[in-house]
Amino acid sequence: MRVMSRPTSERRRPAGEFPFVIEHAARAGLIGHASKNLAFPFHAPILFRVLEVIVIMSIDTSGKWWVGTSPEDIKEYVEAYASQGSYAAHEFRLARCACGSVDFHLDADDNEGVARRTCTKCSRQHFLCDSEEFAGEAEYEHWRCECGSEATNIGVGFSLRKKGGEIRWLYVGCRCAHCGVLGCYANWKIDYAPSRHLFDRV
């Protein structure tokens, strides 16, 4: 049995950070890198605002639930979730099956610190991080979205200790593969070292 002890705002990038928007728009291929130094044929702030909506607002925080447009949005959600407690998330890894799929069924026991993913494409199962060591006592709860979907993207955020950079806590984040709703389904303490090998077991 794993010994558990729980750690104790929504964040938006301020509007008008136009250099950030242009840089990331260029990286995303929405505009050419040379465009940053060219005069635009229409009012620049309007263009910047449009790009800000396209590039930055990939997560919709206006409703009851945060909604992401891609699996990578789990990272930002987990970071925001972790920032409300004692242990900030410093590293993130997105779960990807050996077959290449990022859609899974998720079963977890938050009390025991166990999470298991099953690929929706090839049915391969994998225990996240160190879950398998505690799986014998787990009582799983199956993840299901409010929309009825059972397919989710999964990512793990890791909080690191200041001394040595070992993992002290992890967060299992998810994003519904159907409607995009984001959440944190499980989290638990890591109280041993070395532990950084868990980055590769997501």
More confident residue, 91 or 23: 91
In a domain, 11, yes or no: no
In a domain, 13, yes or no: no
More confident residue, 69 or 15: 69
Number of domains composing the chain = 2
Residue 51 domain boundaries: 18-57
- What value does the mean pLDDT take over residues 164-193? 97
76 and 123 share a domain? yes
109 and 183 share a domain? yes
77 and 24 share a domain? no
37 and 97 share a domain? no
- Amino acid of residue 47: L
pLDDT band at 58 (very low <50, low <70, confident <90, very high): confident
176 and 194 share a domain? yes
| Residue-level pLDDT at 200 | 97
Lowest mean pLDDT among 47-51, 89-93, 110-114, 171-175: 47-51
- pLDDT over threshold 90, residue 110: yes
List b or e across 112-146, with b for residues whose CB sees 16 or more CB atoms inside 10 angstroms: bbbbbbebbeeeeebbbbbbeebeeebeeeebebe
In a domain, 1, yes or no: no
104 and 133 share a domain? yes
More confident residue, 177 or 8: 177
In a domain, 3, yes or no: no
82 and 148 share a domain? yes
- pLDDT over threshold 60, residue 54: no
pTM for the whole structure: 0.74
Separation CA 76–CA 89 (nearest Å)? 10
pLDDT band at 62 (very low <50, low <70, confident <90, very high): very high
* Ramachandran angles phi, psi of 178, nearest 5°: -100, -55
In a domain, 9, yes or no: no
